[in-house]
Amino acid sequence: MLTRTLTSLPSLSQSLSYLSGKTNTFPVDKDTLGALFDSDADVVEARADTVATILTTQSAPSTLKQYLPHFIRWQRFCNQKNINSMPDHGPPLYEDDRKRTAVFNAFVVDEYICNKNRGLHLGRTGRAAANKPGTYEQIFKGINHIIEKVFGRRPIGSTFLVQAIASYKRLFASPTKNAKPLLGKHLRTLCQYAARQGIPWISVVARVAVMMWSNAGRWSCVNRIDIRHTLGHKAEGSIPENPDPSGRYSFTYWWGRRNRHELTATTCPTVDDELLDSRKSFLWLLNEFSRIIPSKPEDDFGIIPELVPSTVRHMVLKSTSTLAADAHTRICSQPSASP
């Protein structure tokens, strides 16, 4: 009675009903079905409805839709070999598991061939375009997802599957493209080009890149520089004077750098080349765009001028007057402190 109630409930998805019919196996074992049975029909109905909800909502519909075709293909393969596609409930049986593993290894080989030759007749060149390794590996992940999540059985696997996946990855994985590091010679070329061309937005990018490279920071880190402290201060306690009186180094101060909310500092050595010196780039940004020292750190609107995309010249900068107006608006919009 409970089984009929479960299979007839509308909350069970069509895919789940399809699986039960194809595998002749219901997702709930017989012992659990017996424990759920009760003389009161209303209790049975409520329990069956709850079981159906659990079975059909434990995985997202998109997940089941993606994994079901893999399991159904495995089920058909097992039907041809006259063997159960899933381990039985309870302790494993050596003979059954041995036969199932052998059939599973044959299925691994067939899927290897199928995925390897998937795009043989596609494309203008006519060359084989194998599926990605992730697609091949997902087949067996999907099969075990249905076996474990829907039917509550032990997953299927073998050493041969591990070897097949490793082989497929080695043969058909896309080559790794490593990003080239930014070297000093690249930065020098960029700065020289910016100085030679005189294009404002390229000059800003070059100056910010110098500060990022010298201080090991990101674009957003440079935009959160504390102007007042970075400009300079006298020696106080264990903190030396900024910049160094002998000209060897200077300090760059940051707010909220790399998820640290407090004020932090980075020691930046002085570079003889003005184009590659971080402090010179910092002062250039202040003077070029008339940056003012904010009265409070929270009033700071960033040291880097805004770059606006343009279809004519790639990027353009907001004018200095616009930047100043934006800063004045942001500062004025702050609630005034109570006396």
pLDDT on residue 1: 43
In this predicted structure, the answer to whether residue 329 has a pLDDT above a threshold of 90 is no
User: 């904010």: which residue's tokens?
Assistant: 294
Q: pLDDT (tens digit, 9 = 90+) per residue, 278-304?
A: 999 998 888 888 776 666 655 555 778
What is the average per-residue pLDDT within 158-180?
89
Averaged pLDDT for residues 185-214:
89
- Residues 237-264: tens digit of each pLDDT: 888 999 989 989 999 888 877 677 778 8
335 — pLDDT class (breaks 50, 70, 90):
very low
Token duo for residue 120: 């043989």
Query: What does the pLDDT read at residue 127?
Result: 52
Q: What is the DSSP string of 108-130?
A: HHHHHHHHHTTTTT-SSS----P
Q: What is the pLDDT of residue 289?
A: 80
Q: Strand (E) positions, the chain?
A: 249-255, 263-269, 307-310, 314-317
**What's the mean pLDDT in 7-15?**
41
Instruction: Name the residue type at position 15.
Output: S
- Report how far residue 233's alpha carbon sits from residue 230's, in angstroms, rounded to the nearest whole number: 8
In the chain, what percentage of residues exceed pLDDT 90? 22
Counting every residue written for the chain, the total comes to 339
Which secondary-structure segment (H or E) carries 156? none
pLDDT at 321: 42
Give residue 294's pLDDT. 65
The pTM (predicted TM-score) of the whole model is 0.49
pLDDT tens string 122-152: 444 445 578 889 999 999 999 999 888 888 8
| Least confident interval from 215-224, 242-251, 271-280 | 215-224
Name the band, by pLDDT with cuts 50, 70 and 90, for residue 27.
Answer: low
Q: Name, of 17-26, 302-311, 326-335, the range with top average pLDDT.
A: 302-311
How many CB atoms sit inside 10 A of residue 295's CB?
A: 10
Cβ–Cβ under 8 Å, residues 87 and 154: yes
Sign of the C-alpha dihedral computed for residues 318, 320, 322 and 323 taken in this order = positive
Q: Are 243 and 250 in contact (CB under 8 A)?
A: yes
Measured CA to CA, the distance from residue 90 to residue 46 in angstroms comes to 27
pLDDT score of 12: 39
List the one residue out of 317, 318, 289 whose CA is nearest residue 303.
289
Report the distance separating Cα 31 and Cα 21, nearest Å. 20
Q: What is the pLDDT of residue 142?
A: 93
pLDDT digits (tens, 9 = 90+) for 33-90: 677 777 777 787 788 778 777 777 777 888 888 898 999 999 999 999 998 888 877 7
For residue 113, count other CB atoms closer than 10 A to its CB.
Answer: 9
Indicate the DSSP class of residue 294: -
More confident residue, 292 or 213: 213
pLDDT tens for 195-209 read 898 888 888 999 999
- Percent of the chain's residues with pLDDT above 70: 74
pLDDT at 78: 92
- The CA–CA distances, whole Å, from 332 to 103, 310, 319 equal 74, 30, 20
Quote the DSSP letter at residue 336: P
Rounded CA gap, 111 and 130, in Å? 12
Of 109, 232, 202, 194, give the one whose Cα is nearest residue 160: 109
Q: Which of 320, 314, 280, 321 is nearest to 202 (CA)?
A: 314
**How many angstroms separate the CA atoms of 305 and 143, rounded?**
54
User: Read out DSSP for 238-270?
Assistant: TBPPBS-TTSSEEEEEEESGGG--SEEEEEEE-
pLDDT for position 121? 45
Half-sphere exposure at residue 241, Cβ-oriented, CA atoms within 13 angstroms:
7
CA distance 207 to 192: 11
The distance between the two most distant Cα atoms of the chain, rounded to a whole number of Å, is 93
More confident residue, 273 or 25: 273
What is the rounded average pLDDT for all residues in the chain?
Answer: 77
Alpha-carbon distance 252 to 249, whole Å? 10
